[in-house]
Amino acid sequence: MTSVNVTELRQHLPEYLKQVQRGEEVVITLHGKTIARIVPDRQENAREAALNRLKSLQGTVICGDILAPLDEAWAGDADNL
């Protein structure tokens, strides 16, 4: 965690934003008192969240072609005759 006063932050903002991108927190002070914090965004975007859900399902489901014809005759109506 880096602590920086407002004047220093204004002069070197891109450098501090790079620190935040690397996962570090930057504390902003004014007259020695903390007034704000810049923290990395930990929220996943929608695409990353969907990919993570798919990865968690990997190996637990069976994928196949549901449109291909079956070798078996349909017997779903046999019990309704």
List the 2-5 sheet strands across, edge first. 2-5, 26-30, 33-38
pLDDT score, position 80: 65
- Per domain, the residue ranges of the chain are 2-38
Does the pLDDT at position 68 exceed 90? no
pLDDT score, position 50: 86
- Topology annotation, domain 2-38: YefM-like fold (3.40.1620)
Helix (H) or strand (E) holding 4: strand 2-5
Q: How many helices (H) and strands (E) does the chain have?
A: 3, 3
Whole-prediction pTM: 0.53
Q: Which pLDDT band, with edges at 50, 70 and 90, does 10 fall under?
A: very high
Does the pLDDT at position 79 exceed 70? no
Return the higher-pLDDT residue of 63 and 1: 1
Nearest to 47 by CA among 36, 39, 55, 57: 55
